A and B are shown apart, each in its own frame.
Chain A
């Protein structure tokens, strides 16, 4: 946290492991507050937002040390405003970012550079976008998922303008939404699953503060969980599967990464990363 950096670890790293490489330094143009990273394995690139300079940075997949980005999306035409997240669609070569201040989703060409206009914008009252903080894309099923203040909204990948979401996961049975601590959403294309973390936490409460509040479902304040929903789930629906925060699971946060081949769910937060072997989530059909 103290200095902006991207650390890479071996896939099987465990404990107080050293990173295999670190992307860090003034040339990298990272901000101290960058909350996301997207990996484009097809084109071997990393994408990182810089909210303070209103930019999306792209690095070589093998970048190391004080290495400059290979390209930057930034400028008046981009309409970027405090971008804090980025998703990459390597199949259709597009880049997505949810714009928290402007209630919109901006889509750029994946190889865009400099001061470029978005190729699509999702924005308007029918979209139900309310303080969106994360977007994730599934190029296989042409689906787009967005975390908002009190919901996960699912759109068609190519939706634009004032399009309504096709599914809305929201309500007390779901426990999702930024107000409950949801900070991430991931899509498992093959199994058609929506995976999101949540931590029931009162507005304005710090992670180190005492958590006494209780939500309507009887969860104590700060109780974290990772929920799994299915494509097509719509409304106030309990998750299909759940990984609760317990003294055994020790869920560190609600940032997520998927390793379907290994059957692993990776959860980050509170300065640590935990890997859970949950092959049930990654069944290819059910």
Chain B
């Protein structure tokens, strides 16, 4: 009859409706409500789906890792650098004399916190005479100076932020000549500054270049009597240019040591120079400058050197020849 749908058309309409419903359900069943709402927006007006929730698990060790150690014998204190971020990077100060114990000993005081700008503190030095402590960091391009009795969340009293390459490993104060020596692993370099440096101080001199023998340098000790510098090297070597790593803006020789955000010259694609050398202790003239050849080297299988870091010479028992 005209105006009445026939049975076949009704059946097909029902089947089509069911199919459409199932299809829609299959398409959307994995969507969260927020995601659906979000998809309705244009990409340019997108409002992010916020997923903020607590971690299900967290792996962390709250105990410090000691990186550098230096002693103030006059005040009976030992200073230790802790570069472990999960423990809060810090300088921990302990008494040199303490009763034997098998329990964890709390430090006498702790230098830590956002004002300290410690970074991942790698090297420490002291001047008892001037009441100063010096630190360098594997993260920053600074040399920080704190009062020897600093405690808590204190800012450095002085800070070198000049052209010093980023990421230094070791620092040593030559008391006799009143000079600070710094090793920088990324650019195979020893930099020398006056202890009384100003913020943007240029180095007095530096040792850097392919004939220096420096290969991923870390610990440093200066013998002011023999005028020699001792440096421990991990052995990762590449050819470095004299002056490389200095932070001089877009005119810097390389970007590799400047930090990610600082512009520098892009280098051309060129033959790689990298090598693995055995770990070593290199000895340099205290007054050497530029690409100066090393004086001698301790290196080889008999040395048993294995990723050497800290370095010290006993002035009494350490023979000089």
Residues of A within 8 A of B (CB): 1-4, 9, 12-17, 25-26, 29, 31-33, 50-55, 74-82, 99-104, 121, 123, 131, 133, 149, 178-179, 203-204, 206-211, 227, 233, 237-244, 246, 248-250, 252, 264, 267, 269-278, 280-281, 283-286
With contacts A206-B137, A271-B86 taken as known, whether A29 is within 8 angstroms of B276 at the C-beta atoms is yes
Contact of A31 among B66, B112, B236, B261 (CB under 8 A): B236
CA–CA, A250 and B60, complex, Å: 13
With contacts A17-B59, A55-B274, A101-B267 taken as known, whether A208 is within 8 angstroms of B118 at the C-beta atoms is yes
13 A–B contacts from the bound complex (CB under 8 Å) = A2-B309, A14-B59, A32-B307, A52-B236, A53-B274, A55-B274, A55-B276, A74-B276, A79-B269, A178-B261, A208-B88, A249-B53, A276-B51
Q: Is A1 touching B65 in the complex (CB atoms < 8 A)?
A: yes
Q: Is A204 touching B279 in the complex (CB atoms < 8 A)?
A: no
Highest count of chain A CB atoms <10 Å: which of B32, B167, B218: B32
Q: Which residue of chain B is the closest to A206 with respect to CB atoms? A: B119
With contacts A52-B186, A101-B266, A203-B259 taken as known, whether A241 is within 8 angstroms of B51 at the C-beta atoms is yes
Q: Which residue of chain A is the closest to B237 with respect to CB atoms? A: A53
Contact of B273 among A76, A104, A131, A275 (CB under 8 A): A76
B194 CB to nearest A CB, Å:
23
A134 CB to nearest B CB, Å:
11
Q: Is A238 touching B48 in the complex (CB atoms < 8 A)?
A: yes
Q: Is A285 touching B274 in the complex (CB atoms < 8 A)?
A: no
Q: Is A244 touching B52 in the complex (CB atoms < 8 A)?
A: yes
Q: Does B12 contact A (CB under 8 A)?
A: no
Instruction: Name the A residues within 8 Å of B61 (CB-CB).
Output: 16, 271
Q: Which residue of chain A is the closest to B137 with respect to CB atoms? A: A206
Instruction: Name the A residues within 8 Å of B267 (CB-CB).
Output: 81, 101-102
Instruction: Name the B residues within 8 Å of A13 (CB-CB).
Output: 57, 59
Which 8 residue pairs spanning A and B have beta carbons closest together?
A54-B274, A271-B86, A52-B236, A272-B60, A76-B271, A203-B261, A274-B55, A271-B85
Within 8 A of A (CB), among B295-311: 306-307, 309
Q: Which residue of chain A is the closest to B28 with respect to CB atoms? A: A286
Instruction: Name the B residues within 8 Å of A277 (CB-CB).
Output: 53, 56
Q: Does B62 contact A (CB under 8 A)?
A: yes
With contacts A50-B236, A277-B56 taken as known, whether A16 is within 8 angstroms of B62 at the C-beta atoms is yes
Q: Which residue of chain A is the closest to B271 with respect to CB atoms? A: A76
Q: Is B272 touching A179 in the complex (CB atoms < 8 A)?
A: no
CA–CA, A222 and B61, complex, Å: 22
Instruction: Name the B residues within 8 Å of A239 (CB-CB).
Output: 46, 48
Instruction: Name the A residues within 8 Å of B141 (CB-CB).
Output: 204
Residues of B within 8 A of A (CB): 30-32, 35, 38-39, 43-44, 46-62, 65-67, 83-89, 112-120, 137-141, 167, 169, 185-186, 216, 218, 234-238, 254-256, 259-262, 266-276, 279, 306-307, 309
Contact of B59 among A33, A80, A237, A273 (CB under 8 A): A273
Interface of B is mostly: loop
Contact of A249 among B39, B54, B307 (CB under 8 A): B54
CA–CA, A242 and B52, complex, Å: 8
With contacts A206-B119, A271-B60 taken as known, whether A242 is within 8 angstroms of B185 at the C-beta atoms is no
A264 CB to nearest B CB, Å:
7
With contacts A204-B259, A237-B44, A238-B46 taken as known, whether A210 is within 8 angstroms of B254 at the C-beta atoms is no
CA–CA, A100 and B266, complex, Å: 8
B58 CB to nearest A CB, Å:
5
Q: Is A203 touching B58 in the complex (CB atoms < 8 A)?
A: no
Q: Is A82 touching B307 in the complex (CB atoms < 8 A)?
A: no
CA–CA, A103 and B269, complex, Å: 9
CA–CA, A104 and B255, complex, Å: 14
Instruction: Name the B residues within 8 Å of A80 (CB-CB).
Output: 272, 274
Instruction: Name the B residues within 8 Å of A233 (CB-CB).
Output: 43
Q: Is B116 touching A15 in the complex (CB atoms < 8 A)?
A: no
Q: Is A78 touching B60 in the complex (CB atoms < 8 A)?
A: no
Contact of B56 among A15, A246, A276 (CB under 8 A): A276
CA–CA, A3 and B307, complex, Å: 8
Instruction: Name the A residues within 8 Å of B139 (CB-CB).
Output: 206-207
13 additional A-B pairs beyond A1-B67, A270-B86, A280-B49, beta carbons within 8 Å, are A1-B65, A13-B57, A16-B62, A26-B279, A31-B234, A52-B216, A54-B238, A204-B262, A206-B118, A206-B137, A208-B113, A233-B43, A242-B48
Instruction: Name the B residues within 8 Å of A285 (CB-CB).
Output: 30
Instruction: Name the A residues within 8 Å of B279 (CB-CB).
Output: 26
Instruction: Name the B residues within 8 Å of A17 (CB-CB).
Output: 59
